[in-house]
Chains A and B, each alone.
Chain A
Amino acid sequence: MLSIKNLHVEVDGKEILRGLDLEIGTGEVHAIMGPNGSGKSTLSYVLAGREGYEVTAGEVLFEGRNLLEMEPEERAWAGIFLAMQYPVELPGVNNMSFLRESVNAVRRARGEEELDAVSFMKRVREKAELVKLPDKLLKRSVNAGFSGGEKKRNEILQMALLEPKLTILDEIDSGLDIDALRVVAEGVNALRGPERSFLMITHYQRLLDYIEPDHIHVLAQGRIIRSGGKELALELEEKGYGWILEEEAAA
């Protein structure tokens, strides 16, 4: 589904990603872990098409299409969803209207019919129930005055409504207590299926207890330096990143 080859990315003239390779197959769940400053968030923004990230080399194919040539909204239409670490507030923009605009924009782009107000509301209520987002937050402005946990749940609600093919979860666990984390993880797990892939970016092994990945990668100094199965996470939890970095340096 997603194929990243030799990706080099600069921000303000500084090279952050230095030859990153990653293959994500359909239906797979991958986790990327790594120390601070390793380029984890840069990777998620580059995949979503944020401005200010200059790709100096390499290629990214999404279902065979050149992702790097697409506008952010075109990537969204193609089925890429980024759950953000710090979701922004949109004062005055009603959350429910925003969800509807968003869902219908994606449906239009896919040649599907727009949802009418009634069936849309029904669907939102259903999904909001799943992520335990209180009704009153649907009536408020997008993320305005939401707590950290509420913002994250709102992200998962959007994800559940948009049903993306590839979801990137950028430190979705940051700032969440264990109950909130469980709710968020349940939302993600409910969407898991043979057609959907996930890329989780996290500092902590804790998240992986709730959303079990098929593959784990260690990102350091702008490259994937180690890949493995679930056992790799446990090893990292136990020993930290130091030993891999040392091995890498020795090699």
Chain B
Amino acid sequence: MSTQRELDDLVKAGYEHGFVTQVESDTLPPGLNEDTIRFLSAKKKEPEWMLEYRLKAYRHWLTMEEPDWAHLKIEPIDYQAISYYSAPKKAADGPKSLDEVDPELIETYNKLGIPLEEQKALAGVAVDAVFDSVSVATTFREELAKAGVIFCSISEAVHQYPELVKRYLGSVVPHTDNFFACLNAAVFSDGTFVYVPEGVRCPMELSTYFRINEAKTGQFERTLIVADKGAYVSYLEGCTAPMRDENQLHAAVVELIALEDADIKYSTVQNWYPGDEQGRGGIYNFVTKRGDCRGDRSHISWTQVETGSAITWKYPSCILQGDDSVGEFYSVAVTRGHQQADTGTKMYHIGKNTRSTIVSKGISAAHGQNAYRGLVRMGAKAENGRNHTQCDSLLIGDKCGAHTFPYIEVRNPTAKVEHEATTSKISEDQLFYCRQRGLTEEDAVSLIVNGFCKEVFNELPMEFAVEARKLLNITLEGAVG
């Protein structure tokens, strides 16, 4: 498996960058006001229009209230206690050595076979060793440049491609959209920008692993991906080992824009620190992800595997404007311990003959709470719109919960919407049957869970699918009994 090997090497390469940048003097004290935003923007040497955009968002944010409709129990967040320009965390704030890190996290790394130096990087321990990654990144960049693909940090894009950024930033998720997206628009730290020109098929899977200046984009990440007419790009987000992060709150925004005949595939494996057994110290993940099928026959596909974070609040959506456009959402969300997830999607059918598919698989174990929340809206002009939703929940044990909140709005009589939902439990019978055939209880659970998630894993790029499966097994270890 040389591709696996390459992937491993690249993964290793990516992690190191954030840990070599020393910007200690630039850290702002906690607190948020207009001066903070001016400081932040000045630090990034942003043009005036960018600062204006941030301030406009901030002023709007002051008028908004935190949403409370999700099926989540959340401790209040003190927005004045967060430092808005400390994205690159100093080594001094993190654990001094692996000895200070949650032993369970270390165990997980060992099970995934992650080398020691990389473990340190993931857990936020200062790393001295320098991996040889520069050459990898360079080769990578050259190949992309040849194809005309722009792949850089959003900060870089603001300077180098202001026209593209101005045209598309906030065009799918406006700053007024919701509380967390608005906050992100005001204070976003960094993120990824991708532009694939007309007719170009991006020659490789783009991943946050590979981009040299990606690391440490902090808690307010901003991603913008534009596929011009007839272009294709597949983007992978996340890492397949649990990332230790001191930031309690993550409020990211991802915008995808697909013009005529363009195709964007966006895959996520999210496995941030879920907190300890009692759920303490885990990440709050409030993400707004939305794709706009702006052109006819365009296609946007979201695939997500969510196993981490204490709280997940996330609804990757598709706006199907173009006629004959297609939106897809494939999701596996796992909650165990005291994790909570309220996740799903929104499919807005606007154009004619638009189609969408939703496959959501929720797994709850221990005290985990898992909610699927999905909206399918067929607009008045969505002639022959089609949606099929399949929403399955699997329960392990008797203290967890699964909840389904489907919203269906149909304004066109020719549209067809189907919703199927099932809830099942791994039964004693099934476990006994598997064990009688020689499988251990853990193998049996893993087999049944993987079978349950198969449709979603099939949508992931292969190496990613292998890792996701492995991760799922580890996540559910000891979940029964």
Residue from A94, A102, A109 having most chain B Cβ neighbours under 10 A: A102
Q: Which residues of A contact B427 (CB under 8 A)?
A: 88
Bound-state Cα–Cα, A103 to B439, Å: 9
**Contact residues in B for A210 (Cβ distance below 8 Å):** none
Interface set, chain B 404-438, CB cutoff 8 A to A: 424, 427-430, 432-438
Q: Which residue of A lies closest to B433 (CB)?
A: A88
Whether B147 is near chain A, meaning CB under 8 Å from some CB there, is no
Interface pick from A12-20, A69-77, A190-198, A227-235:
A69-77
**Pair B428/A102 contact, Cβ less than 8 Å:** no
Interface residues of A in 45-101 (CB under 8 A from B): 48-51, 71-73, 75-77, 81-82, 84, 87-88, 90-94, 97-98, 101
Residues of chain A contacted by B441 (CB below 8 angstroms): 73
Are A73 and B451 in contact, CB atoms less than 8 angstroms apart? no
Are A91 and B432 in touch, CB under 8 angstroms? no
B235 CB–A CB distance under 8 Å: no
Q: Which residues of B contact A49 (CB under 8 A)?
A: 435-436
Chain A nearest CB, measured from B421 CB (Å): 15
Most buried by A among B429, B434, B450: B434
B451 touches A141 (CB 8 A): yes
| Min distance, Cβ B359 to any Cβ of chain A, angstroms | 12
Contact check: which of A73, A92, A141 meets B438 at CB < 8 Å?
A73
Please give me the residue from chain B that is nearest to A143 by CB atom. Answer: B433
Q: State whether the Cβ of A105 lies closer than 8 Å to any Cβ in chain B.
A: yes
Number of interface residues of A (CB under 8 A): 31
Q: Is the CB of A90 within 8 A of B430?
A: yes
A105 and B434 alpha carbons, distance in the complex (Å): 11
A221, CB-defined interface residue at 8 Å:
no
Q: Which of the listed residues A93, A109, A141, A162 has the most CB atoms from chain B within 10 Å of its own CB?
A: A93
The winner among B428, B433, B450 for most chain A CB atoms within 10 A is B433
CB–CB A72/B451 < 8 A:
no
The smallest C-beta distance from A238 to any residue of chain B, in angstroms, reads 36
Neighbouring B residues of A93 by C-beta, 8 Å: 447-448, 450-451
A106 at the interface (CB under 8 A from B): yes
Question: Is A202 an interface residue, CB under 8 A from the partner?
Answer: no
- Contact present for A91 and B447 (CB under 8 Å): no
- Of A88, A109, A158, which is in contact with the most chain B CB atoms at under 10 Å from its CB? A88
Q: C-beta contact mask, B429-466 vs A, less than 8 Å → 1, else 0?
A: 11011111111110100011011111000000000000
Name the residue in B430, B438, B451 with the highest tally of chain A Cβ atoms < 10 Å from its Cβ: B438
Q: Which residues of B contact A84 (CB under 8 A)?
A: 433, 436
**Which residues of chain A come closer than 8 Å to B433, judged between CB atoms?**
84, 87-88, 90
Contacts of A91 in B (CB 8 A): 424, 451-452
Q: Can you report 10 residue pairs joining A to B where beta carbons are below 8 Å apart?
A: A73-B435, A73-B440, A84-B436, A90-B448, A97-B447, A98-B447, A105-B438, A105-B443, A106-B437, A162-B437
B contact residues vs A (CB 8 Å cutoff): 424, 427-430, 432-441, 443, 447-448, 450-454
Apart from A91-B452, A102-B437: 6 A-B pairs, beta carbons within 8 A: A49-B435, A51-B432, A72-B436, A73-B439, A88-B427, A92-B452
